[in-house]
Structure 1
Amino acid sequence: MTSSPSGSASTSFSATIGKDFLASIVVFLVALPLCMGIAIASGLPPTAGIITGIIGGIVVGFLAGSPLQVSGPAAGLTVVVLQLVQEHGVEMLGVIVLFAGLLQLAAGLFKLGQWFRAVSPAVIHGMLVGIGVLILVSQFHVMLDMKPIGTGIENLIGIPGALMTALTSGGPHFAAGLIGFLTIAVIFGWGSYAPKSLRVIPAPLVGVLVGMTTAVALGLDIAYVSVPDNIWSETIFPTPERMMRVLEPAIMVGVVSIAFIASAETLLCATAVDQMHSGPRTKYDKELSAQGVGNTLCGALGVLPMTGVIVRSGANVEAGALTRNSAILHGVWLLVFASLIPFTLRYVPVSTLAAVLVFTGYKLAYPKIVPALMKFGKGEVIIFVVTVVTIVLTDLLKGVVLGLVLSLAKLLYAFSHLVIRKEENPEENRVDLHLSGTATLIRLPMLARALEELKPDAKVHVHIEDLDYIDHACIDLLSSWDRQHKISGGSLDIQWEGLTEKYKNRTAEAFRTARNNPLITGRFPQKT
């Protein structure tokens, strides 16, 4: 964790611009290959990713509620965007992204940013892992200069066949595969064995440079990136006729999907970035509104949607950025590079960019979160696994929705699960009731039934130290039953031990108040 002021008002521009300038160069070098690779993987020209990176840096960087977070095209949206392009055409993508941006902007203005953080971590991480798997298995085919076969499971099953074709053909597929695997090897090697003084140069950039140099030097006949001299020439502006189609159910589903996933990924990333530095914390509603402005502009230009991205944001913090100026400057460098020397991109093999995404997909798909989820119970792991499997077998939206449904079901179960264990001692006429789980209004009939079954003169001891929560309705029930049970010659003693001091005192006081208040109506009929 750094101790930087991260945009503190007391920090002058002259005191921070040096570190921000250097950090912006690092972020730019990380962002350039990712912007192009994600665009190609999404079915769009590489310039669509670069323009999104420019807007994410200059516009969103200026408005952001998370000063050190960097926004741009995200691997997490690749699968959704590709599906939308295939189903509705590249012309409709801008309309979908534009309205998704407006939805995000409205959510931010109505202070809904915190609600996006309420999504279960198991679902969020399951979504990211599922996306990682889909990216890896689809881009593996692109790395061999082939096209993805179809769904995630089809791409996964088709990998051995694609490898066999590349190995036996000995042509462009084999050459592209060699360049792709060389790129991945360089990325792994640079991250693990490069001298610390040189690791400031991003591993993906080194991999792309090595792959590009090797392909050009050997004169390989493989696919290369195609870019126009004017990066703005491929923008697609929404027309009134296309914008009217937003009311179609399929288009609206796309709008909501982009808005939800982009918002969740952005705010999850912002939370992670907050843990990397000690400066100002994220203003979630402001960040959500900034993302909405950025995506509205991206939609107006017909380019890729954006999110806050952890790879670029992490590189920004690690490079010593102090304020939002580093994110803004990285957008400026993308604009200068793509406007003045776009011809250099034509030497980049498509297989090297696909290899960068294969590596990115691997990092997303690696289930490193499972041990952490296990600490919160097997239920969280089950939700995580079901989300991942459903995404791979069907699609992203179905996986996320199923994960959310399971999370809600788990929550309802937690608030309705009550176990009552009875121990009887006939010699002492004593009954011990051990309660565990959650005693709420939902399970009040169960608790009432257990009390009604006890002998009228029994000495009852209720143990609530294993309860996660007991609500006022159940306290009222116990107090009412206590008053009636005393009339029959019995007694009730509640064991408060085990509860935290504050909760014990508050709950015990509520019980005493209910027991001594004659205005409280009992839940049992008066005994005569």
Structure 2
Amino acid sequence: GRWFRAISVAVVQGMLAGIGLVLIAGQLYALADAKAPGSGLANIGSLPGLVADTVRSASALSAFAVGAGTIAVLVLWPRWQRAAQILPAPLAAVALATTAVWALSLPVAKIKVSGLLDAIQPPGLADLGKLTEVGVIGTVLAFTLIASAESLFSAAAVDRLHDGPRTDYDKELMAQGAGNAVCGVLGALPMTAVIVRSAANVQAGAKTKASRVLHGVWLLVFAAAFPAALGVVPVAALAGILVHSGWKLIPRRELVPLWREHRGEAVVLSVTAIAIVVVGMFEGVLIGLLMAVAKTAWETSHVHLEIHTPDDEAEPVLVRAVGNATFLRLPKILDQLDALPTGRDVELDLTGLRHLDHA
């Protein structure tokens, strides 16, 4: 797991930006009680249609008003410091939105929570027998690799969002493996860490690892014991919270200074974000990492030829190479060597090179 520490900051910021964009694009549909088309790119492309449908529907406008009001409370509530110390902004926003929907009898969709115990379906003996099949084993390994990578990518991103203790990646992997073993026994879907809830945890002021445990505990308590309480919460209110969280994930203030000072890093950030929107988080981060590696290889392969041409044609031309000579700079080196005077000996000094590959 410790290898995931070697992730470019630009890739991490690009991952946050990409996830933020995907989150906003997807939750804008829930903000109007509409169904999102699916992928991030499709969600963004269908936004004009969403606007047109929302304007023509009274119920969609009501849901949008609830979501917009939720976002407004999230933005304004922290400015009321005394109240913010007692009640967190997200909780206040959901409570006010729920109260408004109930008081005004607004026709908006609400959360549907089914019985938790009914969802527990342990695998039977026939299912366990399939674990010997090559296809099933391959699927298990694929899920393990992708889920582990996404969790550790998220952990690396969260570490950039706070100043507290850093993530122990090996423990994170072992904990996820133990949790997924329990999920398999209960017949549940595999679990993985996600940046959205983790970022929301940081933004809420979490200080210790107990916060993420309590996050799961409260979800379990409410889903198991108080499903009816969750059933009165409007979907648009939760969508508003997620839109606000997605907006805060985008590094807006850092992008302009980064472009001015380190354009290569800004390009890596942008490519990572766009790739996540187009193809997904896992593939997008891999593309960003490849871009970061390529950029680093290009920047560290600088080589300079110091050429001294004596007036006496009987003496050789002195060429001293300084830097890192790699195949990436081979065209430049050959152009400079081809430009040397013809018919004269050349003395090549390679003592100034820090690296020389076989190119």
Structure 1 length as normaliser, TM-score?
Answer: 0.55
Q: Which runs of 5+ in 1 are unaligned?
A: 1-112, 475-528
Q: Distance in 2 between matches of 1:368 and 1:215?
A: 35
Work out whether 1:209 is the aligned partner of 2:95: yes
Q: Are residues 378 and 246 of structure 1, via their aligned partners in 2, closer, same or farther at CA, if it must alter by over 3 Å?
A: farther
* Match status 1:117 vs 2:117: no
Q: 1:375 to 1:219 in 2, by over 3 A?
A: same
Residue type of the partner of 1:246? Answer: V
Structure having the higher Rg:
1
Rounded to whole Å, the distance in 2 between the matches of 1:421 and 1:325 is: 60
Write the distance in 2 (CA, Å) between the matches of 1:333 and 1:376. 44
Q: Name the counterpart of 2:106.
A: 220
Distance 1:177 1:237, change over 3 A: farther
Could you tell me how far apart the structure 2 residues matched to 1:158 and 1:210 are? 30
Deviation track 1:380-436 (CA, whole Å, cap 9, x = no partner) reads: 222222222233233334423322332333344345442325354638x89775756
Gaps of 5+ in 2: none
Query: Does the aligned pair in 2 maintain the 1:432–1:462 contact within 8 Å?
Result: no
> 1:281 Cα shift?
5.0
Deviation at 1:292, TM superposition (A): 2.9
CA displacement 1:41-82 (0-9 Å, x = unmatched): xxxxxxxxxxxxxxxxxxxxxxxxxxxxxxxxxxxxxxxxxx
Contact 2:32 2:64 in 1 (8 A): yes
Aligned to 1:401: 286
Cα pair distance change 1:409/1:457, threshold 3 Å: closer
- TM-aligned CA distance change 1:242 to 1:356, over 3 Å: farther
Alpha-carbon distance in structure 2 between the residues aligned to 1:151 and 1:327:
28
Match of 1:294 in 2: 179
Question: What SS is found at the alignment partner of 2:46?
Answer: helix
Contact 1:116 1:264 in 2 (8 A): yes
Change (3 A) 1:363 1:436: farther
CA contact (8 A) 1:134 1:392 kept: yes
Distance in 2 (alpha carbons) for counterparts of 1:354 and 1:138: 9
- Residue 232 of structure 1 aligns with an amino acid whose one-letter code is L
Once the two structures are superposed, residues 307-363 of structure 1 have per-residue CA deviations (whole angstroms, 9 ceiling, x without a partner) of 27233145354xxx4x54555455444444444333211110111111211112222
Aligned 8 A contact 2:77 2:84 in 1? no
Indicate which of 125, 128, 136 corresponds to 2:16: 128
Match of 2:61 in 1: 174
Cα offset for 1:155?
1.4
**Any idea what SS the aligned residue of 1:227 has?**
coil
**What corresponds to 1:141 in structure 2?**
29
Distance in 2, Cα, partners of 1:135 & 1:457: 61
Q: For 1:165-203, what per-residue CA distance to the aligned partner results, in whole angstroms no more than 9, with x for missing partners? A: 222222x21211111111111111113x22255245322
User: Does residue 184 of structure 1 match 2:71?
Assistant: yes
1:138 to 1:337, Cα distance in 2 relative to 1, 3 A: closer
In structure 2, the partner of 1:470 is: 354
In the alignment, structure 1 residue 390 sits paired with structure 2 residue 280: no
Instruction: Determine helix, strand or coil for the equivalent of 1:347.
Output: coil
Give 3-state SS (helix, strand or coil) of 1:129's partner. Answer: helix
**2:193 partner amino acid:** T
Write the distance in 2 (CA, Å) between the matches of 1:150 and 1:376. 37
Number of aligned residues: 342
d(CA) in 2 for partners of 1:271, 1:297: 30
1:311 pairs with one of 197, 200, 211: 200
Which residue number corresponds to residue 118 of structure 2? 233
2:303 maps to which residue?
Answer: 418
Query: Would the aligned equivalents of 1:207 and 1:352 in 2 still touch at CA under 8 Å?
Result: yes
1:257 matched to which residue of 2?
Answer: 146
Q: What SS is found at the alignment partner of 1:139?
A: helix
Q: CA RMSD in A?
A: 3.9
1:213 shift after superposition:
0.8
Alignment partner of 2:247: what SS?
A: helix
CA distance, structure 2, for counterparts of residue 248 and residue 282 of structure 1: 29
TM-score between both structures, scaled by the size of structure 2: 0.78
Does structure 2 conserve the Cα–Cα contact (< 8 Å) formed by 1:235 and 1:303?
Answer: no
Identity %: 31
- Please point out which of 367, 377, 380 is paired with 2:262: 377
Match of 2:49 among 161, 170, 174: 161
Instruction: Give the direction of change, closer, same or farther, for the CA distance of 1:392–1:331 in structure 2 (3 Å limit).
Output: closer
- Superposition map of 1:418-497 within 5 A: 418-424=303-309, 426=311, 437-439=323-325, 470-471=354-355
Q: Which amino acid aligns with 1:137?
A: A
SS state at 2:204 partner: helix
- Residues 252 and 173 from structure 1, CA distance in 2 versus in 1: closer, same or farther, beyond 3 angstroms? farther
Label 1:283 to 1:398 Cα distance change in 2 as closer, same or farther (>3 A). Answer: closer
Q: Alpha-carbon deviations, 1:505-525, whole Å to 9, x = none? A: xxxxxxxxxxxxxxxxxxxxx
Q: How far apart, CA to CA, are the structure 1 residues paired with 2:223 and 2:24?
A: 27
